[in-house]
Amino acid sequence: MKVDYESRDPNGYEFVDFIYVTEEKLEDFGTLSGSFAVIKCKGKFLMCFNSLRRQWELPAGKRETGETPKECAIRELYEETGQTVKELSLLGLVNSKHVGNGSFKRNPVYFSEVVQLQPFVENDETTMIMLWDMEEQIGRVDAVDLKIVECMAGRR
């Protein structure tokens, strides 16, 4: 697999590890950051091109007030890619560390497999989506997101 990425994402976070956890145990990990939505279709992973950061990313984002981690993943998936899913399953938490101040954050990672993608409409944040086989050279990929996809594909 050949992709362009730095060891950290543009916000200064480095991948530490992936913690497999059930929905029932999620609250044991304290305050959680925003959620990721990993979507697999035809053996490939849904990626979106973030026009602000100029890189490929998984659909993800911060939680809004009163929103559950799962609701956040569903909303971010729709806002960034136009995709809706019937069900998302929690796979676990990605644990990352800020290289500047040493703080850690844990982001829930949800997963669904779909048969076909729905139409995409370009928006302020996302200009393209694609299904990625992890082999095709696609340019810059967010480093933390790449590690999540590697974990999901069993390559880590």
Tell me: pLDDT of 156 over 60.
no
Tell me the one-letter amino acid at 95: N
| pLDDT tens, position by position, 6-39 | 444 556 889 999 999 999 999 899 899 999 999 9
Instruction: Give domain status of residue 147, yes or no.
Output: yes
Asked whether 96 and 81 are in contact (CB, 8 A), the reply is: no
Instruction: Give domain status of residue 3, yes or no.
Output: no
Instruction: Give domain status of residue 8, yes or no.
Output: no
Question: How far, in Å, CA of 148 to CA of 12, rounded?
Answer: 16
| pLDDT tens, position by position, 110-139 | 999 999 999 999 999 999 999 999 999 999
Domain coverage including residue 44: 13-152
H or E element, residue 125: none
- Note the pLDDT of residue 2: 42
Tell me: pLDDT of 43 over 50.
yes
- Note the pLDDT of residue 100: 87
Instruction: Give domain status of residue 7, yes or no.
Output: no
Number of domains in the chain: 1
Instruction: Give domain status of residue 4, yes or no.
Output: no
Q: Residue 125's domain is classified under what CATH number?
A: 3.90.79.10
Average pLDDT value for residue range 66-72 = 96
- Note the pLDDT of residue 90: 97
Kindly report whether the global pTM for this prediction surpasses the value 0.85.
yes
Phi, psi values for residue 114, rounded to 5°? -125, 160
Instruction: Give domain status of residue 1, yes or no.
Output: no
- Note the pLDDT of residue 4: 47
- Note the pLDDT of residue 10: 57
| pLDDT tens, position by position, 74-91 | 999 999 999 999 899 999
- Note the pLDDT of residue 154: 80
Closest to 148 measured CA to CA, from 43, 58, 55, 54: 58
Q: Return the number of other C-beta atoms located less than 10 Å from residue 120's C-beta.
A: 17
Question: How far, in Å, CA of 124 to CA of 135, rounded?
Answer: 28
